Structure 1
Amino acid sequence: MINQLQQKYQLSMLALLGAVAVLGVSPFVVIRYQEGDFIAMLVDVLLIVGLISIVACAYCFKKIRIVSAIAAVFINAGAVTVAINNGVDGVLWVYPVCASTFILVRPVEALFINAVAGAVVVALADVFNIVSLNSFIVTSIMLSMSAYVYARHSLKQFDLLETLNTIDPLTGAFNRRSLRSGMAAALSSAERNGTQQLLAIVDIDHFKVVNDNYGHAVGDQVLRDFSAITMANIRKYDQFYRFGGEEFVLLIPEVSLQQQQACINNLREAIKNNLKTPDGKEVTVSFGVAPWLPGMTADIWLKRADEALYSAKARGRDCAVFSDDSAAIG
């Protein structure tokens, strides 16, 4: 899953940077006009219009990463243009733009953009007979490296936060909080493309007996082993969630009607053959499976799978029941 929290953060930072830049540049439009420097005034107006347009596109199209990259290139091009046209005063704009780039794009990308912008300024700006070239290069590099370290640290914090927010710490499966967004994406894909989707609720049979006979530490290990076996036997784009306790949910996209029963039964057999208690007794699972149907909501989809699971338990467990089929597999 793409990091939704980071997307919202990037969107808010893009809007904030746009607002700060517009407020910072706007007075210079008036100043350039009063000074009669209409070329510089036009550059400032273009910067303001461009920034407003970029932020508006981000809110409208939600392509935050692409729009942020465009914004990073745009503000650096603007800073370079101002530095070349406005001399010493223009060079000062390079520093805030350099720092802002690290907020908009990934740290390595920001380093590259800043390096290109800095090289163009050094090559074309006619100010280094007044400003020390060595000082400009050293201070630009120090600013870029400081911002790089901070941006890398922030990226790691977002990754950690995403893990804590979406992953069940015991089993490594996605947690229940992630399930709703995963189901929403699956339903959207199914409605848009007509691809078949399966939702399966998987319950470990007689798990309370495992806890009672062996203790909760062994029960936890059984949950971990079950998750590891399951994740090793599903495709990389299938999604596996811990629903609660010993119940888990599988979202299986793009599986044909002919393959559905074989897919579920193969997974059930793999779990049965490999999931054991400490004394070697097998641990089985029951499946309640609901294929996607047009117009189905997330709640109805879960309900149909849950009803199929209860049917599987009623038939003696260690089997899979499909919501649209009276026969049990296993």
Structure 2
Amino acid sequence: MFKQLQDKHQLSILLIFSIVSVFGITPFIIIRFIENNIVAALIDLAIVSSILTLVGYAHYTKKPRVISAVIALLVNISVIAIIITNGINSMLWIYPVVAVTFFLVKPIEALILTLSNVAIIASIPNLFDAIPLNSYFTTNLMLAACAFVYACFGNKQLALLAELNSTDPLTGALNRRALNDDTLAAISRAERYNSTYLLAFLDLDFFKKVNDEFGHAEGDRVLKQLVSITNSHIRESDKLYRFGGEEFVLIIPEIPSKEQVSFINKLRETIKNELKTPTGNSITVSFGVAAWVPGTTVASWFKRADDAMYQAKKQGRDCAVFSKD
């Protein structure tokens, strides 16, 4: 979920950057052609054309991370080229380049790229006859430091937003929004690599009695403890989602067919042994499980797991039923 949100955020940044670049650089292309500064004009034209092409490609492939890194490298090399060509007249371009680099790549990558760029420009002969070298270093380092702090803070905020966007606030399990995205991703991966996937519906048995006898606060505790127990007994690649109320969903990838039944039943028994009411009685769960098969859609996969859950309830609960379809 975080990667999806990060990609959407990065695509938006690339789009805004391309628009700003066109409106910011195009007038200089025209001016330099008029002034017969052909080399500088062609460099600017190449920069704008490359940015538009790369941003378009990023939106087409929906993979902005690599393209952002390429653009960051491009603009840093370009500012060196234009300063070598125009000298002191183009020195101010380094400041927007420093700023935009921190929008395009990770903060530490941007810092390394910026410091390298600043050092290379400082080595250009005769460039600092008109301006003090210490002022150049100080202003660029201050800008880089501020941009670095801002970028780090922004990344933390984005990660927090992704967590809030995909996590159930009561239990800490992933929510239905994350479930929808991850189910589509699981089907796509299963179709591409013929991977094995299980979709398991998990339902607390007689949960209403817990609420009625012990109150909703105790019911909330049971839900949170269920998530804690389940997460501590599944693999890192397995994901637990709260579907609604006392219903949960597990997506279990890459589990051999001969181990599927034992895996689910072991988890069911573990929950039964560890999840208790305040009086010490076990709280049981029922499972409805459906394996991915070719031609599966989100709707059909959910229906097969739901039908299996219905059979588990019909058989008396505290059991796991696997879909035969």
Measured against the shorter chain, the TM-score band is over 0.9
TM alignment of 1:11-160, pairs within 5 A: 11-124=11-124, 126-160=126-160
TM alignment of 1:2-17, pairs within 5 A: 2-17=2-17
1:102 CA drift (Å): 1.0
Partner deviation per Cα, 1:45-80 (whole Å, 9 max, x = no partner)? 211121111111111222111111111111111111
Partner of 1:328: none
TM alignment of 1:1-330, pairs within 5 A: 1-124=1-124, 126-324=126-324
CA distance in 1, matches of 2:314, 2:125: 80
CA contact (8 A) 1:87 1:125 kept: no
CA distance in 1, matches of 2:126, 2:322: 75
Aligned residues: 325
CA distance in 2, matches of 1:126, 1:105: 32
Partner deviation per Cα, 1:69-93 (whole Å, 9 max, x = no partner)? 1111111111111122211121100
CA distance in 2, matches of 1:250, 1:66: 32
CA contact (8 A) 1:102 1:147 kept: yes
| Secondary structure in structure 2 of the residue aligned to 1:288 | strand
Partner deviation per Cα, 1:200-242 (whole Å, 9 max, x = no partner)? 0000111111111111111111111110110111110111100
CA distance in 2, matches of 1:249, 1:219: 18
Please say which of residues 13-22 and 2-11 is displaced more in the overlay: 2-11
CA distance in 1, matches of 2:22, 2:96: 13
CA distance in 1, matches of 2:265, 2:125: 69
1:6 CA drift (Å): 2.6
Q: In the superposition, relative to structure 1, how do residues 125 and 188 fare at CA in structure 2: closer, same or farther (>3 Å)? A: farther
Letter in 2 for 1:132: P
Letter in 1 for 2:48: I
Please say which of residues 243-252 and 80-89 is displaced more in the overlay: 80-89
CA contact (8 A) 1:238 1:251 kept: yes
**TM-score, normalised via structure 2 length:** 0.97
Partner deviation per Cα, 1:124-144 (whole Å, 9 max, x = no partner)? 253211011111111101111
CA distance in 2, matches of 1:125, 1:11: 38
CA distance in 2, matches of 1:306, 1:123: 68
Letter in 2 for 1:292: W
CA distance in 1, matches of 2:150, 2:180: 33
1:22 CA drift (Å): 2.2
CA contact (8 A) 2:2 2:162 kept: no
Partner deviation per Cα, 1:238-291 (whole Å, 9 max, x = no partner)? 111000010000001111211110111111111111111122211110000011
Structure 2's unaligned 5+ residue stretches are none
Please say which of residues 83-92 and 204-213 is displaced more in the overlay: 83-92
CA contact (8 A) 2:2 2:159 kept: no
Letter in 2 for 1:279: T
| Secondary structure in structure 2 of the residue aligned to 1:243 | strand
**TM-score, normalised via structure 1 length:** 0.95
1:33 CA drift (Å): 2.0
